[in-house]
């Protein structure tokens, strides 16, 4: 408390702050080393998120499985990649290790790049965003967005075929999600 602090240009906390020297040293060095403390509201929001995660994940997984099953049976869809489907190569491993296969899936709109783009443009309920894990259903067409700078061969090498649409299935009612998928597929493949 009485020696110069090398981290603060030689300040002597007791000499500079008197009776508040200890408090100031805790605040200044603690913040620098450990960062700021959470506000009570931020801590409460994180706790609410952690405590409700299992419920939200059940809904993400059940909605995503319903979407995958719907897409698998749709003649306008060329393929579906979702570990929750029994014919997926990792289905047995997923069943062994997890309670659900997540809320993320990919599928191919028959016709290719233009139809994939048209699907995204036709969505009304789903949001065109590239992040995942939201409470809302999010869709993206990687070949025309996140991987657009690559040529087609590089996209394919990265696992991004031109017809691929990625969906992060949200918590909304499944009927609303399937309605939007159906109408977007109808417009994309018309």
Q: Which residue range forms the structural domain that includes residue 179?
A: 54-188
pLDDT at 90: 94
CA 109 to chain centre: 22
CATH code, domain carrying 183: 3.90.1150.10
Residue 83 inside a domain? The answer is: yes
Say which residue the tokens 């969906």 belong to: 167
Q: How many domains does the chain divide into?
A: 1
Q: Is the Cβ–Cβ distance between 54 and 100 less than 8 Å? A: no
- The token duo for 126 is 């789903």
- The token duo for 189 is 């493949």
Q: What is the largest CA-CA distance in the chain?
A: 79
Residues with Cβ within 8 Å of 79's Cβ and at least 6 positions away in sequence, in order, are: 107, 108
pLDDT at 38: 80
Per residue of the chain (190 residues), give pLDDT as tens: 788 888 788 889 999 999 999 998 888 887 777 777 788 899 999 999 999 999 999 999 999 999 999 999 999 999 999 999 999 999 999 999 998 899 999 999 999 999 999 999 999 999 999 888 889 999 999 999 999 999 999 999 999 999 999 999 999 999 999 999 999 999 999 9
pTM: predicted TM-score of the whole model, two decimal places: 0.77
Residue 173 inside a domain? The answer is: yes
Angle at 13 between CA 11 and CA 18, to 5 degrees: 130
pLDDT at 26: 85
Residue 15 inside a domain? The answer is: no
Residue 66 inside a domain? The answer is: yes
pLDDT at 36: 75
Residue 18 inside a domain? The answer is: no
Residue 59 inside a domain? The answer is: yes
């Amino acid at each position: 408390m009485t020696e110069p602090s090398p981290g603060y240009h030689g300040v002597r906390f007791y000499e500079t702050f008197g009776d508040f020297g200890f408090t100031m040293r805790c605040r200044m060095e603690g913040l620098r080393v450990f960062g700021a403390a959470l506000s009570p509201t931020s801590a409460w929001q994180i706790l609410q998120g952690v405590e409700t995660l299992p419920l939200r994940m059940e809904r993400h997984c059940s909605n995503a499985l319903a979407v995958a099953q719907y897409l698998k049976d749709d003649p306008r869809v060329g393929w579906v990649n979702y570990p929750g489907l029994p014919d997926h190569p990792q289905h047995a491993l997923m069943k062994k290790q997890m309670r659900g296969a997540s809320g993320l899936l990919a599928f191919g709109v028959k016709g290719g790049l233009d139809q994939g783009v048209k699907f995204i443009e036709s969505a009304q309920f789903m949001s065109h965003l590239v992040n995942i894990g939201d409470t809302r259903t999010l869709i993206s067409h990687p070949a025309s967005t996140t991987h657009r700078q690559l040529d087609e061969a590089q996209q394919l090498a990265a696992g991004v075929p031109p017809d691929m649409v990625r969906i992060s299935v949200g918590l909304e009612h499944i009927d609303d999600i399937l309605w939007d998928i159906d109408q977007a597929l109808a417009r994309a493949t018309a």
